[in-house]
Amino acid sequence: MMEKNIGTADRVARIIIGLILLALGYMYGSWWGIIGLIPLLTGLIGWCALYKILGISTIKK
């Protein structure tokens, strides 16, 4: 099971950034906007593989 390692503020920022990147990719007709899926999905599920590897957690204890 994936233990959540992304706090609330981090999640909100990731979701907003992901949506902006997707929108910009759509507006400019660029496939680069798909990169926005990474922060969007990590923000939605609350887990980041890179944070796990680096031993980082932004959740308040």
| Token pair of 45 as six digits | 């599920």
Q: Is residue 60 part of a domain?
A: no
Rounded to two decimals, the pTM is 0.89
DSSP 3: P
Domains identified in the chain, total number: 1
Please report whether residue 3 resides in a domain.
no
* pLDDT 10s digits, 19-50: 999 999 999 999 999 999 999 999 999 999 99
In a domain, 58, yes or no: no
61 domain-assigned: no
Q: CB 32: neighbour CB atoms within 10 A?
A: 10
pLDDT value of position 29? 95
- Is residue 61 pLDDT above 90, yes or no? no
Flag whether 2 is in a domain.
Answer: no
* Host domain of residue 33: 8-53
List, for residues 51-60, the tens digit of each pLDDT value. Answer: 999 999 999 8
Q: What is the pLDDT of residue 59?
A: 95
- In eight-state DSSP terms, residue 61 is -
Residue 6 above 80 pLDDT? yes
- Between CA 19 and CA 38 the distance in angstroms is 10
Interatomic CA distance for residues 39 and 30, integer angstroms: 17
